[in-house]
Amino acid sequence: MRAPTYSPRLRIVIAITGASGSLYAQRLLDNLDARAHEIHVVLSHYAHAVLAEELPDGLRLPAGAVQHGLKSMNVPFASGSNPFDAMVVIPCSMGTLGRIAHGTSDDVLLRAADVMLKERKKLILVPRETPLSLVHVKNLELLLLAGATILPANPSFYTRPQTVEQVVDTVVARVLDHLGLPQQLVQRWQAERE
* Separation between Cα atoms, residue 14 and residue 30, nearest integer Å: 12
Question: What DSSP character marks residue 64?
Answer: T
CA–CA gap between residue 18 and residue 49 (Å, rounded): 7
Backbone torsions φ then ψ of 67, nearest 5 degrees: -100, 140
Cis peptide before 152 (omega within 30 of 0): no
| This prediction's pTM | 0.93
Residue ranges per structural domain of the chain? 11-179
**Domain 11-179 listed as CATH 3.90.1150.10:** no
Give CA–CA dist 53/156, Å, rounded: 25
Chain segment 56-88, per-residue pLDDT in tens:
999 999 999 999 999 988 898 999 898 799 999
**Percent of the chain whose pLDDT exceeds 90:** 85
Task: Yes or no: say if 21 and 153 are a contact pair by the CB < 8 Å rule.
Answer: yes
As averages over each run of 10 residues, the pLDDT of the chain (194 residues) reads 62 97 98 95 97 96 95 90 94 98 96 97 97 98 98 94 96 96 86 59
Specify the pLDDT at position 190: 75
Question: Could you give the CA distance from residue 69 to residue 75 in angstroms, rounded to a whole number?
Answer: 9
Give the sign of the dihedral formed by CA 188, CA 33, CA 57, CA 68: negative
Phi, psi of 13 (to 5 degrees): -105, 130
At residue 96, the pLDDT reads 98
pLDDT recorded at residue 6: 54
